């Protein structure tokens, strides 16, 4: 999971230096959305957490002892990354007149 966060971090760092890569943002959004969709339907994913485990607290402890907790956290992390890339893309579009 670490390279996924690193990809977005590098793009944000580049944006802070006024260097924009709209195609890289779109690629990241597509890949993250596909992976997030997988996390929704995974056996221990988001739907399992909602339907089987009654939305058990996923922030109680940082140690994820149950697989559905880790999968659900990864899903929400992907949603945050998608949001960040969308913001970067819109800012790049405004700054570079794409």
Model pLDDT, residue 33: 96
Element (H, E) at 36: helix 22-41
Rounded to an integer, what distance in angstroms lies between the CA atom of residue 18 and that of residue 81? 19
pTM for the model: 0.81
User: Which two structure tokens, joined as six digits, stand for 67?
Assistant: 């697989």
What confidence tens digit (pLDDT) does each residue in 48-96 have?
Answer: 776 666 666 666 655 667 666 777 778 888 999 999 999 999 988 887 7
> Using an 8 Å Cβ cutoff, are 25 and 88 in contact?
yes
- Which residue has tokens 């089987």? 52
Helical residues (DSSP H) of 1-98, grouped into ranges: 2-16, 22-41, 46-51, 67-96
* Digit-coded pLDDT (tens) for 13-50: 999 999 999 999 999 999 999 999 988 888 777 777 76
With a cut of 70, say whether residue 3 has pLDDT above it. yes
The ranges assigned to domains in the chain are: 2-96
């Amino acid at each position: 999971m670490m390279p996924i966060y690193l990809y977005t971090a590098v793009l944000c760092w580049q944006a802070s230096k006024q260097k924009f890569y709209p195609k890289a943002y779109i690629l990241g959004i597509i890949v993250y959305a596909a992976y997030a969709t997988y996390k929704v339907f995974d056996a221990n994913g988001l739907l399992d957490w909602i339907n089987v485990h009654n939305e058990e607290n996923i922030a109680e402890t940082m140690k994820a002892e149950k697989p559905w907790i880790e999968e659900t956290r990864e899903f929400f992390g992907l949603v945050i990354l998608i949001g960040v890339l969308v913001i970067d893309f819109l800012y790049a579009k405004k700054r570079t007149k794409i």
